[in-house]
Amino acid sequence: MAGEPLAQRLTELEVKLTFIDDTVNGLAAADAELSMRLAALEELIRGLRSELSSLRLGQGHDPHSEPPPPHY
């Protein structure tokens, strides 16, 4: 019948759309996870920079007060 191929094509498109939706949802979840991990890493780097700065100040080490290397 003439309607049968159309119904089959419609079913195939619905199946493909379901797989596409699943893929998009999976990618969105992965993106959200990566965004959270990136934010955590950025916070960690800020903390490490602050700690390094505190350690340098505690040792009286100021890189701006050092003389330039001999090749200058």
Task: Print pLDDT tens along the chain (72 aa).
Answer: 556 899 999 999 999 999 999 999 999 999 999 999 999 999 999 999 999 988 888 776 666 777 788 886
pLDDT at residue 2, as a whole number = 56
pLDDT at residue 69, as a whole number = 81
pLDDT at residue 52, as a whole number = 92
Please answer whether residues 35 and 41 qualify as being in contact, where contact means their C-beta atoms are separated by less than 8 angstroms. Answer: no
Q: How far apart are CA 2 and CA 66, in angstroms?
A: 86
Please answer whether residues 56 and 63 qualify as being in contact, where contact means their C-beta atoms are separated by less than 8 angstroms. Answer: yes
pLDDT at residue 37, as a whole number = 98
pLDDT at residue 63, as a whole number = 66
